[in-house]
């Protein structure tokens, strides 16, 4: 069974070109980060990318325009990743409506607990610290797939796959049959292959952004290596 590859990119003026490169490399889904000044879950690589995007003027409207430009050129699923403060300022009902109009297929709101805003259909996250009850609720309310946070910490590259992933997958599979995609700390093709033996897909963020710093060709090559590792 083919494993799903999700690549994270920060919204910016060059993101449509980078998105095309990631798709050419073989990603199945793109997660598009909306920069935030206080990103609690993000490590140094994504924080730097967010700072560059904010300096470039990438507010919510500009980020939605970025999603729209990617959608005009490609048909892979697009999932904005944002924070509750952005939705609070933009409008809880207005944001998902405008995101859908721009071509987004779902949302991730990293710091919004599963039991808040249940009317907002979104991809839910669970972590090694989540109780079985919270995992079951997240699985019930998630939009299509469940995001497994493999570490109790921030995003970022790591030298080895988190040992917390296997028990988290085991606990989650007891309560749901929705697809499970693992992220946070998956940095190399080898780690991607190891994680994919446990989960239904993987999410790669910081390592993809590092590759993207050297341009679209570098990103396409890196994503191609990830894709090959999941074959």
**3-state SS record for 116-167:** CCCCCCECCEECCCCCHHHHHHHHHHECCCEEEECCCCCCCCCCCCCCCHHH
Q: Which of 34, 81, 83, 31 has the alpha carbon at shortest distance from 57?
A: 34
225: tokens are 């290596």
Q: Does the annotation count 105 as an active-site position?
A: no
What letter does residue 35 receive in the DSSP assignment?
P
Among 153, 152, 155, 147, CA closest to 126: 147
187 neighbors 208 (Cβ within 8 angstroms) = no
Q: Buried b / exposed e across 112-123, counting CB within 10 Å, b at 16+?
A: bebeeeeebebb
42 among known catalytic residues: yes
Q: Which of 17, 28, 38, 42 is catalytic?
A: 42
Out of 28, 31, 75, 133, pick the active-site residue: 31
* Helix, strand or coil, per DSSP, at residue 169: helix
Show which residues are catalytic: 31, 42
């Amino acid at each position: 069974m083919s494993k799903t590859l999700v690549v994270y990119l920060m919204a910016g003026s060059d993101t449509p070109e980078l998105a095309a490169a990631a798709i050419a490399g073989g990603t199945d889904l793109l997660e598009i980060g909306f920069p935030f000044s206080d990103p609690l879950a993000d490590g140094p690589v994504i924080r730097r990318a967010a700072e560059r995007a904010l300096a470039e003027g990438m507010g919510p409207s500009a980020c939605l325009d970025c999603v729209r430009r990617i959608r005009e050129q490609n048909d892979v699923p697009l999932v904005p990743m944002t924070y509750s403060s952005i939705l609070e300022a933009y409008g809880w009902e207005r944001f998902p409506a405008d995101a859908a109009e721009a071509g987004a297929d779902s949302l991730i709101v990293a710091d919004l607990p599963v039991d808040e805003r249940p009317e907002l259909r979104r991809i839910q996250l669970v972590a090694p610290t989540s109780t079985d009850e919270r995992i079951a609720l997240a699985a019930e309310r998630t939009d299509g797939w469940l995001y497994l946070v493999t570490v109790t910490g921030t995003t970022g590259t790591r030298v080895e796959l988190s040992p917390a992933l296997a028990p988290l997958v085991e606990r989650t599979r007891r309560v749901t049959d929705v697809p499970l995609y693992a992220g946070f700390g998956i940095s190399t093709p080898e780690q991607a292959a190891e994680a994919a033996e446990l989960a239904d897909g993987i999410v790669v963020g910081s390592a993809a952004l590092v590759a993207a710093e050297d341009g679209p060709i570098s990103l396409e090559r890196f994503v191609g290596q990830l894709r090959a590792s999941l074959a």
